[in-house]
């Protein structure tokens, strides 16, 4: 676990030369860990909290944003060097490349504990992500926390009503209106937004389809139930042979039930013109 180098030296456990050797790794100024320990974001959060010092009770500090989501079991961290985010009502005057310090109102009711570390509550975390991230990533992040049932939209909206002192409340309202707890992945969330932003009807998430005998044959990522149009996001896991064969059998069963399936990839999300034309055409034909 992380420790303060100055504390270890003062207690006689180590000396400065030992700290600078290969046995220990410095994570933050005066915060060390054994060099052979595998680093993860939880350990970095603990080290960052130790780096901030012992804050008085009336001025709490907690992991927040994506760091809080991680501690609650939702990993939305970027692959390239995620920073630890800490929030405090007072300025955290310490500066480090691995730390993003946020000054924002923070009361004890906003602080929960997971993995032994303080972090912002699910409602506060959802609120912060909705107002700080760009719109697309905000919706994806809120979807993920709602899907894990860490909180509900009703609780999140109640928090918003009492958060008049915060900036960014307008975006929070929009993000909450677009969020869906049934969405199962960030790419599904982004695909849904691409469709909505085109002006197409809002599709349902995770729609179960049954055959004429009432047997379940599929659960679709997105769908227009009344029009029998399904939209599936194809991730890399669909490329292995066993999954490919199951997908073929599934699509045949859906076609037999008079469903049309549109398959989308990451390319369709970032360059959606072809996908959107196909959906518009299908909707118009089905309506006719």
The pLDDT value given to residue 55: 47
Burial string for 207-241 (b: 16+ CB within 10 Å, else e) reads bebeeeeeeebbebbbbbeebbbbbbbbeeeeeee
The pLDDT value given to residue 212: 84
Instruction: Examine the domain organization and report whether 55 and 31 are in the same domain.
Output: yes
The pLDDT value given to residue 163: 86
Instruction: Examine the domain organization and report whether 127 and 201 are in the same domain.
Output: no
Instruction: Examine the domain organization and report whether 97 and 149 are in the same domain.
Output: yes
**CATH number, domain at 192?**
3.40.960.10
Instruction: Give the whole-angstrom CA distance, residue 218 versus residue 201.
Output: 22
Instruction: Examine the domain organization and report whether 240 and 224 are in the same domain.
Output: yes
Give the domain-ending residue among 130, 156, 178: 178
| Average confidence (pLDDT) over 252-274 | 93
Instruction: Examine the domain organization and report whether 215 and 155 are in the same domain.
Output: no
Give the domain-ending residue among 143, 178, 213: 178
Instruction: Examine the domain organization and report whether 241 and 150 are in the same domain.
Output: no
Question: What DSSP element (H or E) covers 167?
Answer: none
Query: Quick count: other Cβ atoms within 10 Å of Cβ 73?
Result: 11
Give the domain-ending residue among 158, 178, 198: 178
| Average confidence (pLDDT) over 245-267 | 87
pLDDT tens digits along 32-57: 999 999 999 999 999 999 998 754 45
Instruction: Examine the domain organization and report whether 61 and 138 are in the same domain.
Output: yes
| Domains contained in the chain, number | 2
Instruction: Examine the domain organization and report whether 129 and 68 are in the same domain.
Output: yes
- Edge to edge, what strands does the sheet with 24-28 contain? 3-4, 31-34, 24-28
pLDDT tens digits along 10-24: 999 998 899 989 999
The pLDDT value given to residue 241: 55
Instruction: Give the whole-angstrom CA distance, residue 224 versus residue 253.
Output: 17
| Average confidence (pLDDT) over 271-275 | 96
Tokens of 19: 């700290």
Say what angle helices 169-178 and 135-147 make with each other, to 10 degrees. Answer: 60
Cβ atoms of 163 and 85 within 8 Å: the answer is no
Cβ atoms of 59 and 87 within 8 Å: the answer is no
pLDDT tens digits along 175-226: 999 999 999 999 999 999 999 999 999 999 999 999 888 889 999 999 999 9
Instruction: Examine the domain organization and report whether 161 and 215 are in the same domain.
Output: no
Tokens of 12: 């006689």
Which structural domain range is residue 265 located in?
186-287
Instruction: Give the whole-angstrom CA distance, residue 143 versus residue 134.
Output: 14
| Average confidence (pLDDT) over 234-253 | 69
Instruction: Examine the domain organization and report whether 39 and 94 are in the same domain.
Output: yes
Instruction: Give the whole-angstrom CA distance, residue 2 versus residue 243.
Output: 43
Instruction: Examine the domain organization and report whether 172 and 34 are in the same domain.
Output: yes
Instruction: Examine the domain organization and report whether 166 and 192 are in the same domain.
Output: no
Instruction: Give the whole-angstrom CA distance, residue 104 versus residue 87.
Output: 6
């Amino acid at each position: 676990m992380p420790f303060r180098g100055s504390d270890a030296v003062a207690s006689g456990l180590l000396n400065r030369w030992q700290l600078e050797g290969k046995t220990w790794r410095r994570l933050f100024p005066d915060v060390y860990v054994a060099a052979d320990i595998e680093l993860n974001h939880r350990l970095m959060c603990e080290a960052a909290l130790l780096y901030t010092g012992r804050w008085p009770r009336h001025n709490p500090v907690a992991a927040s944003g994506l760091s809080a989501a991680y501690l609650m079991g939702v990993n939305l961290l970027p692959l390239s060097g995620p920073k630890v985010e800490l929030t405090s009502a007072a300025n955290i005057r310490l500066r480090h490349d691995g730390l993003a310090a946020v000054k924002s109102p923070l009361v004890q009711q906003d602080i929960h504990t997971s993995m032994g570390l303080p972090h912002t509550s699910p409602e506060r975390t959802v609120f912060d992500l909705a107002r700080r991230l760009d719109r697309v990533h905000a919706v994806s992040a809120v979807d993920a926390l709602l899907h894990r049932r860490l909180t509900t939209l009703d609780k999140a909206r109640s928090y918003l009503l009492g958060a008049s002192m915060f900036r960014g409340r307008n975006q929070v309202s929009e993000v909450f209106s677009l969020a869906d707890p049934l969405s199962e992945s960030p790419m599904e969330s982004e695909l849904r937004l691409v469709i909505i932003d085109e002006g197409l009807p809002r599709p349902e998430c995770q729609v179960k389809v049954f055959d004429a005998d009432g047997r379940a044959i599929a659960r679709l990522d997105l769908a227009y139930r009344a029009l029998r149009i399904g939209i599936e996001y194809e991730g890399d896991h669909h490329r292995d042979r066993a999954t490919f064969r199951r997908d073929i059998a599934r699509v045949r069963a859906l076609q037999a039930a008079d469903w049309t399936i549109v398959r989308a990839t990451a390319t369709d999300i970032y360059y959606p013109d072809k996908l959107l034309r196909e959906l518009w055409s299908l909707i118009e034909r089905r309506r006719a």
